[in-house]
Amino acid sequence: MKSFTQSLVFSIRSRSEEELDNLGAKIGDVLGIHLIRAGYASGVSPYLEGELWGMIIQFGAWPLGKQDGVYIYQLHGVPRTDLPLGETTEQIDISDYIAAFLELSGVGVWYKPTQEEIFEEMRIAEEIDVVLYEDQPGFDML
C-alpha cells in the first residue's frame, strides 16, 4: 500500500526599498521564526533561511539588485527533504494565506507571482549560471 501525505508550500513576492536583513527580521518576527544567512542564490545573491511547520523558508532578493529603486523579494516555503513524506505527497499551496498574513501584519504588500514572472526569474538564473560556471569542467554537459 502506498502512503499518502500532504505538505505545505508557498511562493510569494514583494517589492520594497528595505534591505534584506531588516525585512527578513520583520518577516521572522511575524512568522515566529529566526531567519539566518544561509548562502547565495546562483552564487551571488544572499538569502536567509529558517524553518516553519515542516517547511524550509527561504527569503531573498531576485532578480539581482534594485529595479526602479526597489528590490523584488521572494519568499518560499518548501517541504523539508528529510521528512518521511511517503511516495505520494499532495502539496497544499498556502501562498495567498501567507501573503495576506504578512500584509495584515504590516510587513509590506505581498503577491503570488505570475507564470511570466516565474519564467523570467528562471531565465535570469540560467543566464547567471552561464556567466558564473561556463568555464567550469563539465558545464557543457548540463
Domain harbouring 53, CATH code: 3.30.310
Beta carbons within 10 angstroms of residue 73's beta carbon: 22
Contact predicate 105/111, CB 8 Å: no
Contact predicate 64/45, CB 8 Å: yes
Domain contains 35: yes
Cα dist from 101 to 15, 17, 76, 85, 104, whole Å: 16, 20, 14, 27, 5
Domain contains 92: yes
Task: Give the number of domains in the chain.
Answer: 1
Domain contains 130: no
Domain contains 14: yes
Domain contains 65: yes
Q: Which pLDDT score is estimated for 110? A: 97
Domain of residue 45: give its range: 4-113
- Say yes or no to pLDDT of 13 above 70: yes
Cell numbers that stand for 48 in this block? 536567509
Cα dist from 82 to 31, 44, 54, 87, 129, whole Å: 22, 27, 10, 13, 27
Domain contains 126: no
What predicted TM-score, i.e. pTM, was given to this entire model?
A: 0.79
Domain contains 85: yes
In this predicted model, what pLDDT tens digit does every residue of 37-82 receive, in sequence order? 876 655 556 789 999 988 899 998 876 667 788 888 999 998 887 7
Model confidence band, residue 139 (pLDDT cutoffs 50, 70, 90): very low
Domain contains 87: yes
Cell numbers that stand for 8 in this block? 505545505
Phi, psi (degrees; rounded to nearest 5) at 22: -65, -50
